[in-house]
Each structure stands twice: as structure tokens, then as C-alpha cells.
Structure 1
């Protein structure tokens, strides 16, 4: 036996002959000549070391060796068909895996996109990493993920960013605050308030500091807190007021109010970011296409930005 001489094509020819029951019909299905089919069968028989088929009364029959080979062929070719389907699924983004990393505040947004995507493509596995801006920047530098979400994208040449959602900032206070019902408050009215702040380096903190600087205002009292949840709880408990992303506010919260200012805080945008030199997984690319098609179905249309086209054309 010279089984190392077996090739995929020889096995494919043999299966076609057996399934069709005719050399001429197998030749037609494979777009080959009948002499070529006969030659391939001869080579296959020599490799196995046994006759594989015989003709009796004009009909084709398998020998014992032929039956064993046919069984093995069906198993091997079936596995190749499964592999082909898997590869096609990967290339079309219907299966596979990708990783997405996002700053803390974006966790209020991503599930609204990732949930419908996971229902549409249940065979795609997604890893989600959440942390503060410094932690996500470190992951970006190490190229640990396929997609990143920042409100302020890294100012790096190899960062390709696209806006997809406005990120308005609002000033919140406890519902019983003396200024809760006031209209068009001047910024100076907040001068003596105690502010609950995110850590330095967070996008919200950077925007807030810039807003204060633009209006020449300096905080008198502040408390630094590590998360939006802690800030929301602190404000509701009367610890102070805060600037926070509007997307981080739960609907219908009776313990918090948005203060009405004559000069509201600046707003930013949420961005999808990929690295130019990073080969984006098919499934990650499919996710971005899905988001581009369905943004307004799953996010508030008032804030949606359709700026993904350039990014999608570049990955």
C-alpha cells in the first residue's frame, strides 16, 4: 500500500464514480473525460494495493477494499465540507470571535448594539473588556483587542476612528436640591457647590475641566469617585452635584434631576476605533457593518451619527 500517494482529487473521483454508478456519468459531473476517470481509478487502486471496483453484467460493484475506502472517503470529504462551511462562516463574519474594549461609560451603550447583533449572529463569540481610559489606552497600545470605544479617541497616527453617537453631558443634582426647579441657571450659581468628579484622565473629567476653564470657574469643593454608579448614588444621597454623560442616567429616576443651565456643558462623541495596522477579524468587521445598518433601530436617533463609512472602507 502507498496511501501517502492518495490525493483529495483521487478520493473525489472515486466517490463520484460510486455515487453515479458509471464512469461516464462521473466524468460528466466532474467535467473530465472518461479515460481520465479510468486513469485516476487505476492510480487510486495502485495506491491502495487492492482492486476497488469490478463490473458484473454491466453494473459497477465495490470490492471489500473499495467499500472500506468509500466509507473512509465519505468521512474525510464530509469533514472537508464542514471545514469549508466553517471557513465560509468565518469569512462572512457569521462565526468566529472578536474582542471589544470600552471605557466605563460606554457600557450603557454597547449592550443595546451587542444584544441584537448576538441574536442575529449567535455563533459569533464576543469578549468585552471594560475599564477606565488609562486601562483601555494600555490595551490599545498592546493591540489586545479588535475594536475600542472611546469618547476621545487616541491622538495617534495608527488609530482609525469613526463617530457613531453624540455624548451630551448634563449636570445632575438630588431631586430635593434648592436649584432643582430653577431655569437657565448661570454657571456662577454652581460656584459654591460640591462636585463629585471622575478620576483625572477620564474623558468626562477632561471635558468638565475644559468647560470650567473656558468660563473662568474654579471649584471650591470636590470629591473624586471611581465610577458613574458611585457618582449617581452619591448625588442622590445629597453628597453633591456632578457632571455626567446623559447616557449614564437611568430613565425615570426620581432621585436625580438635570439642572437647567444657560450654558450647558460641552458634549463629545462616542467613537469606534481600530488600529490601522491590525488585521480586523471578519466577525469584528461584520459587527461594525451591522452597527452601521441598525444604529437608529437600537439607539436614540437624536444622538446617532453615521460616520462609520470611512472606517469600514479602510479595514
Structure 2
């Protein structure tokens, strides 16, 4: 057969996702381009690899064999790539990362500093929600992922890195903006804006509420930190957000942090990967860089990661 590595990569992604659309998104191609390559692969194989039943598709026996081979070939190629990187004098090669949506506010800055020192490293960054991060972890798609709450139903290794401080934010004209020593129970009747259920930030806040015997019915549920910031700036309510996500809005006096007992909630971002995974040299170096950054004096890390003033 005269198949290509690109065809194997495409078929592996299609078979893994059971979706042409998601495979195209992962590989930054159009769905028609993926479909054309899969048809050519089937022509080269001389037999159907996929069968369509209604809106779903399944691998044929030949497709299952092709998928196993594609996985084996791509795994061996990644291993070869890692071995060549280990032998090289210069740190180089791909660095495959996936991060939670709220980690997008600091990860690119840290990547930029790392790549400035190691220009032969090629970062590949995926920003996605928690559910997709967990799925990517299970499928071993990345060197590691950066997330807050680490799932306990997968065999994982978590490396604590940057501190994640959660604060209560409000419109600058909120009555509590100039008050000190507020208590969370006093604000339970406010309109609260929250992320979707399962979000790490929301989970941490709900645990704090439960610890104080409180429950809050969200006034609005929004699917991104950016949407919540806009809603708070519009005076629609209060919210709990990571400190590093609101640096610009604080500087522009578009948001204020309320002084509430028990806040900020101090959590950690974690670099997470499957147990037994062998990290590439680039991944090991970046992980060490993240740990050193977390331990560095405040003047050497991005402003949004500085400790809160006393």
C-alpha cells in the first residue's frame, strides 16, 4: 500500500474521536479535506475502513486493524522524536500542552519566556474546558495538562505549580466596594454569576459555601470567564474569579475585589499527566521551569501571579 503518515494521523484521529469534525478541529484542517484523505486511504487499502449506519459510523474489521497499526506507528514515531531530542545538544522538539480556559491568562506568558530561552522548542497549546481536559488526559494526547482540580478517577501524577487565588469581584459602584471585613453570609442574597457546573472555580466556591452552611442559587450561569467579567462590569452581580484573570480590569478600575473573610481562596494549578508516562526532554524542562517560577521572587513572575498585598 502507498499510504502516507498524514493519512495515518488523520485516520487515527477520526477513529479515536469517532468524528470527522472533531478530528479536523484537532488537526486544524477542514472536514472535507479529512474526508478526502480517508477515502484515499481506503482506496489504497482496497477495502472499506469505515461503515456508516445512520448518523453514526463504525470501524470495519479492516478499519480496526488499520487503527491499531496507525496507533503503533505514531507511538513509535513519537518515541523516536523524543530519543532524538534527548541526543541533541540543543533543547528542541514539540511541547504539547492543554490548559483549562482560565489558565490561558498566564500560560502563554510563561511559554513565551521559556521559548525565548529555547527557540528550537515548538509549543502546541490547546485551551479547552475541564471535561475536554479530562478526556485528553485519558487519551494521552498531551505532554501534560494544566488544570486546578485533579480528577480522582484516573491514574494520574499531579505536579503543583502556580498558585491560583480566587477572589470575589464586583462592579466598582457596589455598596461593599469600600467596606472591609465583609462576611460571605451577608452576601448570600446577592445576585451571583457562576461558571457552568463542573468548573474548577465553581467547585472551589461551592465547597467554601458548603463549609459555611450556605447554598446559593446562581442568578446566571455563563460558559467562560470573559463572559462573567463582562456581566460583572455591567452590574449584573458578583462572581468568584481567579486573580490572574482580572489584572487588566482591576488596573482600568472596571472591577473591584471585595474584602471578604476567608478570601482569597488559595488553590494550586497543577501540571497533570498519566502515571507511567515518559515526558519528553522539552516537557521535563518546561515543567521544571514552571516549578522554579512558582518559587521565584514576585519580581520575576508575571504581575497577575504576584501575591496579593497584605
In structure 2, what is the equivalent of residue 290 of structure 1?
A: 289
2:160 is equivalent to residue 158 of structure 1? no
Contact 1:149 1:271 in 2 (8 A): yes
Contact 2:157 2:274 in 1 (8 A): yes
Please list, as runs of the form range in 1=range in 2, the aligned pairs for 1:1-315 lying within 5 A after superposition: 87=84, 91=88, 94-156=91-153, 158-251=155-248, 252-264=251-263, 266-295=265-294, 296=296, 297-299=300-302, 300=305, 302=307
The unaligned stretches of length 5 or more in structure 1 are 1-85, 304-315
Superposition deviation, residue 268 in structure 1: 1.2
Superposition deviation, residue 101 in structure 1: 0.6
Contact 2:194 2:218 in 1 (8 A): no
SS in structure 1 of the partner of residue 91 of structure 2: coil
Superposition deviation, residue 177 in structure 1: 1.0
Using the alignment, how far apart are the partners of 2:179 and 2:285 within structure 1?
47
SS in structure 2 of the partner of residue 136 of structure 1: helix
Contact 1:208 1:265 in 2 (8 A): no
RMSD after superposition: 2.1
Superposition deviation, residue 200 in structure 1: 0.5
Using the alignment, how far apart are the partners of 2:152 and 2:139 within structure 1?
16
Q: How many residues align structurally?
A: 218
Q: Which stretch has the larger CA shift, 256-265 or 117-126?
A: 256-265
Using the alignment, how far apart are the partners of 2:87 and 2:109 within structure 1?
24
Alpha carbons of 1:268 and 1:93: their partners in 2 closer, same or farther (altered >3 Å)? farther
The unaligned stretches of length 5 or more in structure 2 are 1-82
SS in structure 1 of the partner of residue 125 of structure 2: strand
Contact 2:162 2:291 in 1 (8 A): no
TM-score (norm 1): 0.64
In structure 1, what is the equivalent of residue 48 of structure 2?
A: none
Superposition deviation, residue 265 in structure 1: 5.2
Contact 1:102 1:149 in 2 (8 A): yes
1:4-46 deviation digits (Å, cap 9, x = unpaired):
xxxxxxxxxxxxxxxxxxxxxxxxxxxxxxxxxxxxxxxxxxx
Using the alignment, how far apart are the partners of 1:91 and 1:293 within structure 2?
24
1:177-217 deviation digits (Å, cap 9, x = unpaired):
11111111122221221111001101101011111111122
Alpha carbons of 1:145 and 1:258: their partners in 2 closer, same or farther (altered >3 Å)? same
Alpha carbons of 1:137 and 1:157: their partners in 2 closer, same or farther (altered >3 Å)? closer
Superposition deviation, residue 152 in structure 1: 1.2
Using the alignment, how far apart are the partners of 1:256 and 1:302 within structure 2?
18
In structure 1, what is the equivalent of residue 20 of structure 2?
A: none
Superposition deviation, residue 266 in structure 1: 2.9
In structure 2, what is the equivalent of residue 53 of structure 1?
A: none
